[in-house]
Amino acid sequence: MKKPESVLIIGSGPIVIGQAAEFDYAGTQACKAMTEEGVRSILVNSNPATIMTDEGVADEVYIEPLTVPVLRRIIEKERPEGLLPTLGGQVGLNLAVDLHEAGVLEEFNVRLLGTPLDAIRRAEDRELFRTAMREIGEPTPPSAVVHSLAEAREALEEIGLPVAIRPAYTLGGTGGGFVRTMEEFERVVQTGLDASPITQILIERSLLGWKEVEYEVMRDGADTCITICNMENLDPMGVHTGDSIVVAPSQTLSDKDYQMLRSASLNIIRSLGIEGGCNVQLALAPRQDVVAWPPESMRAGGGVGVPHDEPLPYYVIEVNPRVSRSSALASKATGYPIARVAAKIAAGKRLDEIANQVTGRTQAAFEPALDYCVVKIPRWPFDKFEAGDRVLGTQMKATGEVMAIDRTFEAALQKAIRSLEFGGRTVLWEDSEVEHEPFRGSETPTDVRLWHLLAAVRADLPLDEIAKRSGVDPWFLERLEAIVQMERRLLAEPLTPALMRRAKRMGFADEQIANLAGSVDERIREQRLSWGIAPVYKMVDTCAAEFDAVTPYFYSTYEDENEAEPEPGNRALVVGSGPIRIGQGIEFDYASVKAAQALRAAGWGAVMANSNPETVSTDFDTSDRLYFEPLDEEAVRDILENEDGSQNGNASANGGVASILQFGGQTAINLAGPLTSAARPILGSSADVIDLAEDRRRFERFLADLGIPQPPGTAVSSVDEAVLAADAIGYPVLVRPSYVLGGRAMEIVQGVGDLARYVTQAQAAAPGKPILIDKYLAGIEVEVDAICGGPGDDAVLIPGIMEHIERAGVHSGDSMAVYPAPNLRAGEVATIIEYTRQIGIGLGVAGLMNIQYVIMRDSDDDGDVFVLEVNPRASRTVPFLSKVTGVPMVEVAVRAMLGEKLSEQGYPGGLWPSSPLVAVKAPVFSMSKLSGVDTHLGPEMKSTGEVMGVDVDYDRALNKALIAAGMAVPSKGRALLSIAEQDKPGAMSLIRELGEAGYELHATAGTAELIRGLGYEAQVCPKREVGGDPDVIDLIRSGQIDMVINTPEQISSNIRDGFHIRRAAAEQRIPCFTSIDTAHHAVGAMLEGGADYNVAPLPDYTAGRV
Amino acid sequence: MTEHTEAALVLADGAVFRGLALGAAADTWGEVVFNTSMTGYQEMLTDPSYAGQILVLTYPLIGNYGIDPPIDESRQVQVRGLIVRSECDSPSHPRGGMRLHDYLASAGIPGIAGVDTRAITRRIRHEGVMMGMIVPTDEVEAARQQLAELPAYDTQDFIDVGVDQPYSWSDGRPQALSNGSDESGPHIVVLDEGLKYNILRNLRRRGCRVTAMPPTSGVEDILSVNPQGVLLSPGPGDPQLREFQVQTATSLIGKLPIMGICMGHQVLGRAFGADTFKLKFGHRGGNHPVLEVPTGRIAITAQNHGYAVDPDGLSADVEVTHINLHDQTVEGLAHRAEPVFSIQYHAEASPGPLDNGHLFDRFLDLIGEVQGD
């Protein structure tokens, strides 16, 4: 294929479950690859918190909604010669197909690069895929559609037990299930046929418990095919691979198995005609003593078992004809940059024409050889969503993942567990509820099954029985047993150098050894270092040391030879943000990457540490040295000591490498105290500054001394104290535990009853920990990011002020934020600037800080400004604000930390002049994927990602943000309103607008009364708890509602209708507003001409050219 | 769990790597080489081309899926010793039950587990392959002395690694030759210099009748069984010491279709007038890219060789058909006029990628063309 002159790259949009930072990594690599090839790149993404949308990555950057009409306008303007559809996840791929089907590609003569459209279709369409597999003789699980018991019996002859039975057209698979025996089969077939309105069921061979194996494959235009990596899931078939613990390379496959599945994968990529990367998922027969499979049913004719020297049976499950989460993992696991190579193949290069950057002298046409073991563990959000259904299945639920590398599985697994950053949930954690039934937790796949498996091994349950119940290959259970045996030795034996070394080689953290050996972490560290037991660092080089490699990508292990020697010159360690979770998303990876770039630009060596394989920060291109490690005190101190050669008590070779902690979210900032105690230098705000801002009492005193007001509040430790305090402050009050991340467990409480309940529950959850009670001020919430020059520089730069659309009380991460703040009065702005300056200088912040204010107005005069919170670190809004203001905030902050005054950098203090644009940041949720979780907005953060709408005025910008977030208000149609009593006064003007605009209004009884009272028609929908038929939930589920406005009652409860209304809307994927503020503004934007939005490159907005 | 005693690998350059003894309690010596394949330890251990060598596996977790005797690639374990980072004493696989340790012990082959195999690999990569010994840790000094006196790998002819009696291959195993075989299909003589059984399996799978003959078989011996083609097999050692086989090959060119693999390729290269030379640390692994010159396609190949053909002296009748993309060494040759070709890598895989079985088809096509004429 000929090289195009220009190419359009579609990003994957906001971070949602199933589509995370891996596509920022892929898109960024693709843009770099295009630049290297001399191809002009045009990038579109709605997600501002991405490196790919940063200046200098693509030639043209559009931050616009990912819809066909928007893309059409971009294509019309830019006239790209090619479109690269396979690097933007499922969103990018679907959009490319939609553009083709809408005739846009043909109209503007855009050709699809890389994998052709019919290959995409054959891979994505179930039936076409099965046909394609049949043609090349690759087995897919046998299945049949039948209409009677007789047909079912006949079909079973071919398929063989066990099978899965799925009735057609029933919700949630009612009437179906897995069957293992003939008796069960007859029964379930009958109930399934009865349950299906068209008397039809699908019978499919069940592969539950089979080994799940993946291959990452590449193919170029000359038909050269290679595999990059294979991966084996610890969780057998039945759990989504994104929710599985995955190990690379495969551990229990013989060479015969490995090569058989490799050949199958290459057959498949060839036959589909994919040009680029592709992920193949296969199921391989497990041990017969773990899960029985009948060999005779595997092959036509059958009758005899598989002979001993016959290959094991396998099935092809699925193919992803694009770069995926698995390919990002494979890239980081091997060092082979799949996205970059796939992009170059799309631009017409052959594999042997692409250099292997890792070795610098070999080509991309080879297969990586690993000389280590990689373990990936997903990071699930159930620490935030306790009500969520934790059972894992075919719907992915994890928000992020961690990866760890070591020379044994045990060590890699233990490092991965540390990387999850669960605090108390170390390897030793056990669920007290499962203690009495240790098998139960091993049987059901959940987010904590790994810990249950460990507990079962500790309880001395027979491994073969655990294997049978869980389907986990005994090889993995044996490894867990090895860990448990070491735990027992550490409990029982005196700690000797030999035992310590063995434990470290198995990945035991100092903390864990201290726990088991009855010591403390620091003592264990001192002891092992005095015995000369320190990690060495080995390189990820794609070739198992066969060639010299130049890529500085390292992991720790306890062996002999260290390959990461200290290097001269100024160097600093940027501590990344670990796995993506709610409250700590891709924004912090953005900041970490920018920090590394800024260090390099300032002539410093940038050292990066992170545990997240999805990110740009863990691209070996980003820093001068990358350590793929857990981000805990032990690992970071080991890295620092290795960097300056001071392990084993040697003097530091270069004066002590400093750490930069303010870009990696709470993960990194939490290390400030421990690193300071260990006498490690920190660049930027000191541990004391951080403590001053985070310690409530110190901070109160600090603000009081400056004369800056805060909502009145106090800390309490009993129900009685709480009630007294709340009486003094006045309801409503905001209550939360004293230590929070992302507003966890925060509530707004209106009266004494709820308060008593909250305090009792919180004390049960964390005995002895104080609870904070603050006056809840329902004012305008304002957020400011500022850069402080640090000691010796009295300048504080405020790149911009953002105003939240929702009143205070909705977590800032879930609020819609507008820049520049549209409704603030001049005096209020002046106060905010002054407070920000005083706080920054008073605290002694060096670098970034984020302050949240609330403004209370009771007249036409300027309102009172209160400080809600100060975070002396980069916040979630840094990428958004950097993009819309043009101030490279991270770079300015890093230069300030390195001693360059803001004025020397050309930035005066105070508020930076506003850009001639309006930008709205909107949150995006993954609620359709998390059953059981209430979707309403509140003080606890729930969103997984964000989008930006930018335009010349507020209504257009807001409308675009809503479109990009999938929350756009339909211009007409049916709206369902169910509004809580306390919100009804505030809802009146919204109802009038909807009524005037001609929406068909449906409402629950009380709300309908209000609507009629205002003079509009309203259809009453019976609540489910009243027992209507159809009730309000049925109405939503049947697709008769286009938009829901539902605000929660004060007493939150999952059994109430409001919860079910919100869940139904989430599952139906229709806009659901749970805040009157958001709904009001959204409807307003639609009615005020927001639909007439612009489409333009970001720099055109910032320069006022639109 | 087995409690192992300590053992050490002592290299000719004086470096010592201490670990735990694995397999048989015995001393050993040999040329220390590394292989980067991530699977296939049993196939590697039984590959006769490793005769005289101590094998370092770069993949750290070895023994995971146990040992399954029917997949042995020759009649015995062939390596002199095995060095691994971590040996699995509780294997798991639907087929393999035996532990690696027991397998090595019963074969009388020692090894070491628990050493920094990557450090050894890096040393070999920088210094080149060298002799080494596996000894108990208290014999390290003595081993250093001995290493200076041991015969160099390149001086050993390993002729005894091949068979001394002809045999056939049927029912998935070697069988004594019997007259009046009822098997049909093209008759191939395989000169067994130390072949892997999978070469014979590949030929059988394609319907050939196979007679394996000792490496010392002369042209008359070969022609006396009326083959339709001759395959020169892989085997250990320096091809410079195979002058007899080079002579045999030279005589056979023009008489029969010939395919050479690995050592067989080097023998053919010498027969075509080229010299062979020793590579610094060889090619051993399952991921080497080879350019097929005529098609421009890249093949991923299984490799195990320490020597290569120097193309400079090649006869003008011969073309270089395959080139290693990593170091540009010759990976395949073909005669321009005669049905003779060779590859340096292992079309039979085992272990390694199955991408190159078509080379056997090509051999059979050549035989078919000759028969058709």
Q: What CATH number does residue B127 fall under?
A: 3.50.30.20
Tell me, yes or no, whether A605 lies in a domain: yes
Identify which of A868, A852, A701, A707 has the alpha carbon closest to the alpha carbon of residue A774.
A868
Identify which of A178, A170, A244, A174 has the alpha carbon closest to the alpha carbon of residue A208.
A178
Residue of A nearest to B281 (CA): A546
Q: Look at A366 and B297 and tell me if their CB atoms are within 8 Å.
A: no
Based on the fold, state whether residues A231 and A355 are members of the same structural domain: yes
Please state, in angstroms and rounded to a whole number, the distance separating the CA atoms of residues A761 and A772.
14
Based on the fold, state whether residues A200 and A224 are members of the same structural domain: no
Based on the fold, state whether residues A328 and A476 are members of the same structural domain: no
* Minimal CA separation from A524 to chain B, in Å: 24
Collapsed DSSP state (helix, strand, coil) of residue A315:
strand
Based on the fold, state whether residues B94 and B143 are members of the same structural domain: yes
Compute how many other C-beta atoms are within 10 angstroms of the C-beta atom of residue A194.
11
* Minimal CA separation from B99 to chain A, in Å: 13
Based on the fold, state whether residues A646 and A742 are members of the same structural domain: no
What residues form DSSP beta bridges with A574?
Answer: A608, A660
Based on the fold, state whether residues B258 and B176 are members of the same structural domain: yes
A–B interface: beta-carbon pairs under 8 A? 169
Instruction: Assign A257 a pLDDT band (cuts: 50, 70, 90).
Output: very high
- Please give the sequence-ordered ranges of beta strands (E in DSSP) within A997-1078, or none if there are none: 1000-1003, 1019-1020, 1043-1046, 1072-1073
Using the 3D structure, point to which of A530, A552, A586 is the last residue of a domain: A530
Summarised one tens digit per residue, pLDDT across range A442-476 is: 888 999 999 999 999 999 999 999 999 999 999 99
Based on the fold, state whether residues A122 and A91 are members of the same structural domain: yes
Nearest to A363 among B61, B122, B289 (CB): B289
Task: Output DSSP code: residue A469.
Answer: H
Based on the fold, state whether residues A999 and A1065 are members of the same structural domain: yes
Using the 3D structure, point to which of B149, B182, B204 is the last residue of a domain: B149
Based on the fold, state whether residues B171 and B107 are members of the same structural domain: no
Instruction: Assign A303 a pLDDT band (cuts: 50, 70, 90).
Output: very low
Task: Output DSSP code: residue A104.
Answer: H
* Minimal CA separation from B165 to chain A, in Å: 26
List C-alpha distances in Å: A233 to A220, A374, A471, A579: 28, 12, 11, 19
Based on the fold, state whether residues B210 and B303 are members of the same structural domain: yes
Instruction: Assign A171 a pLDDT band (cuts: 50, 70, 90).
Output: low
Determine how β-strand B258-261 pairs with β-strand B275-292.
unpaired
Please state, in angstroms and rounded to a whole number, the distance separating the CA atoms of residues B225 and B223.
5
Based on the fold, state whether residues A263 and A377 are members of the same structural domain: yes
Based on the fold, state whether residues A442 and A492 are members of the same structural domain: yes
Based on the fold, state whether residues B279 and B192 are members of the same structural domain: yes
Tokens of residue A926, six digits: 């993954």
Based on the fold, state whether residues B123 and B195 are members of the same structural domain: no
Residue appearing with tokens 């071919």:
A158
List C-alpha distances in Å: A111 to A94, A589, B69: 16, 33, 54
Instruction: Assign A767 a pLDDT band (cuts: 50, 70, 90).
Output: confident
Identify which of A444, A137, A128 has the alpha carbon closest to the alpha carbon of residue A267.
A137
Residue appearing with tokens 């530091």:
A652
3-state SS, one letter per residue, for A704-724? HHHCCCCCCEEEECCHHHHHH
Residues 6+ positions from B203 with CB-CB distance below 8 Å? B169, B188, B190, B210, B231, B360
Based on the fold, state whether residues A248 and A186 are members of the same structural domain: no
Identify which of A697, A703, A699, A675 has the alpha carbon closest to the alpha carbon of residue A687.
A675
The answer to whether residues A9 and A42 touch, using CB atoms and an 8 Å cutoff, is yes
Tell me, yes or no, whether A962 lies in a domain: no
List C-alpha distances in Å: A186 to A121, A171, A189, A292, A321: 36, 22, 5, 21, 38
CATH label of the domain that carries residue A470: 1.10.1030.10
Compute how many other C-beta atoms are within 10 angstroms of the C-beta atom of residue A193.
22
Give me the sign of the Cα torsion angle A175, A176, A177, A180.
positive
User: Does A327 score more than 90 pLDDT?
Assistant: yes
Residues of chain A with C-beta less than 8 angstroms from the C-beta of B285: 369, 544, 546
Q: Look at B116 and A223 and tell me if their CB atoms are within 8 Å.
A: no
Tell me, yes or no, whether A68 lies in a domain: yes
Number of independent structural domains in chain B: 2
Determine how β-strand A553-557 pairs with β-strand A373-379.
unpaired
Residues 6+ positions from A537 with CB-CB distance below 8 Å? A554, A555, A556, A557, A562, A563, A564, A627, A642
Task: Output DSSP code: residue A431.
Answer: -
Based on the fold, state whether residues A62 and A103 are members of the same structural domain: yes
Burial of A561 (0-12, 13-18, 19+ CB in 10 A): middle
pLDDT of residue A192: 87
Tell me, yes or no, whether A922 lies in a domain: no
Nearest to B36 among A309, A362, A544 (CB): A544
Please state, in angstroms and rounded to a whole number, the distance separating the CA atoms of residues A921 and A948.
5
Based on the fold, state whether residues A167 and A120 are members of the same structural domain: no
Inter-residue long-range contacts of A993-997, CB under 8 Å, 24+ positions, other chains counted: A993/A1080, A993/A1083, A993/A1084, A993/A1087, A994/A1083, A997/A972, A997/A1083, A997/A1087
Please state, in angstroms and rounded to a whole number, the distance separating the CA atoms of residues A289 and A467.
9
Based on the fold, state whether residues B137 and B200 are members of the same structural domain: no
Instruction: Assign A1056 a pLDDT band (cuts: 50, 70, 90).
Output: confident
Based on the fold, state whether residues A1036 and A1059 are members of the same structural domain: yes
Using the 3D structure, point to which of A679, A699, A726 is the last residue of a domain: A679
CATH label of the domain that carries residue A544: 3.40.50.20
Based on the fold, state whether residues B180 and B243 are members of the same structural domain: yes
Residues of chain A with C-beta less than 8 angstroms from the C-beta of B93: 252, 254, 287
- Please calculate the CA angle A17-A21-A22 and round it to the nearest 5 degrees: 100
Using the 3D structure, point to which of B105, B123, B149 is the last residue of a domain: B149
Based on the fold, state whether residues B140 and B171 are members of the same structural domain: no
What angle, 0 to 180 degrees and rounded to 10, lies between the N-to-C axes of helices A752-765 and A719-729?
140
Please state, in angstroms and rounded to a whole number, the distance separating the CA atoms of residues A81 and A623.
33
Determine how β-strand B81-84 pairs with β-strand B110-113.
parallel
Tell me, yes or no, whether A707 lies in a domain: no
Q: Look at A545 and B71 and tell me if their CB atoms are within 8 Å.
A: no
Residues of chain A with C-beta less than 8 angstroms from the C-beta of B65: 252-254, 257, 475
CATH label of the domain that carries residue A891: 3.30.470.20
Tell me, yes or no, whether B1 lies in a domain: no
Please state, in angstroms and rounded to a whole number, the distance separating the CA atoms of residues A1008 and A1012.
6
Q: Look at A366 and B64 and tell me if their CB atoms are within 8 Å.
A: no
Based on the fold, state whether residues B140 and B221 are members of the same structural domain: no
Using the 3D structure, point to which of A480, A504, A530 is the last residue of a domain: A530
Tell me, yes or no, whether A1018 lies in a domain: yes
In which element (H, E) is residue A853 found?
strand A846-856
For residues B350, B354, B355, B361, the Cα torsion angle rounded to the nearest 10 degrees is 90
User: Across residues A807-813, what is the average pLDDT?
Assistant: 88
- Residue by residue, DSSP assigns B340-373 as EEEESS-TT-SSS-STTTHHHHHHHHHHHHHHH-
| Gyration radius of chain A over CA positions | 29
Using the 3D structure, point to which of B149, B169, B202 is the last residue of a domain: B149
Domain of B255, in residue numbers: 159-372
Number of independent structural domains in chain A: 8
The region of weakest confidence among A306-320, A618-632, A800-814, B147-161 is A306-320
- Residue by residue, DSSP assigns A939-988 as SS----EEEEEEESSHHHHHHHHHHHTT-PPPSSSEEEEE--GGGHHHHH
Collapsed DSSP state (helix, strand, coil) of residue B53:
strand
pLDDT of residue A297: 41
ipTM above 0.95, yes or no: yes
Based on the fold, state whether residues B185 and B245 are members of the same structural domain: yes
The alpha carbon of residue A1033 and the mean position of all alpha carbons in its chain are separated, in whole angstroms, by 30
Tell me, yes or no, whether A830 lies in a domain: yes
Domain of A357, in residue numbers: 211-301+308-383
pLDDT of residue A127: 85
Tell me, yes or no, whether B345 lies in a domain: yes
Q: A1034's torsion region: left (phi>0), alpha (psi -120 to 50) or beta?
A: alpha
pLDDT of residue A300: 36
Nearest to B118 among A224, A308, A538 (CB): A538
CATH label of the domain that carries residue B213: 3.40.50.880
Identify which of A194, A160, A155, A157 has the alpha carbon closest to the alpha carbon of residue A176.
A194
CATH label of the domain that carries residue A992: 3.40.50.1380
* Minimal CA separation from B150 to chain A, in Å: 27
In which element (H, E) is residue A99 found?
helix A89-101
List C-alpha distances in Å: B129 to A387, B124, B278, B305: 61, 5, 10, 12
Reading chain B (373 residues) residue by residue, the pLDDT tens digits are 345 699 999 999 999 999 999 999 999 999 999 999 999 999 999 999 999 999 999 999 999 999 998 899 999 999 999 999 999 999 999 987 799 999 999 999 999 999 999 999 999 999 999 999 999 999 999 999 999 999 999 999 998 898 889 999 988 889 988 765 667 789 999 999 999 999 999 999 999 999 999 999 999 999 999 999 999 999 999 999 999 999 999 999 999 999 999 999 999 999 999 999 999 999 999 999 999 999 999 999 999 999 999 999 999 999 999 999 999 999 999 999 999 999 999 999 999 999 999 999 999 999 999 988 6
Residues of chain B with C-beta less than 8 angstroms from the C-beta of A561: 116, 118-119, 122
CATH label of the domain that carries residue A151: 3.30.1490.20
Nearest to A255 among B40, B85, B86 (CB): B40
Residue appearing with tokens 């009437």:
A175
Pick the residue of B17, B65, B346, B355 with the most A CBs within 10 A to test the interface with A by mutation. B65
List C-alpha distances in Å: A130 to A135, A143, A206: 9, 10, 16
Based on the fold, state whether residues B167 and B287 are members of the same structural domain: yes
Tell me, yes or no, whether B292 lies in a domain: yes
Asked if B243 is an active-site residue, the reply is no
Residue appearing with tokens 């009822």:
B182
Tell me, yes or no, whether A964 lies in a domain: no
Tell me, yes or no, whether B329 lies in a domain: yes
Selected catalytic residue, list B4, B283, B335, B346: B346
Tell me, yes or no, whether B173 lies in a domain: yes
Tell me, yes or no, whether B131 lies in a domain: yes
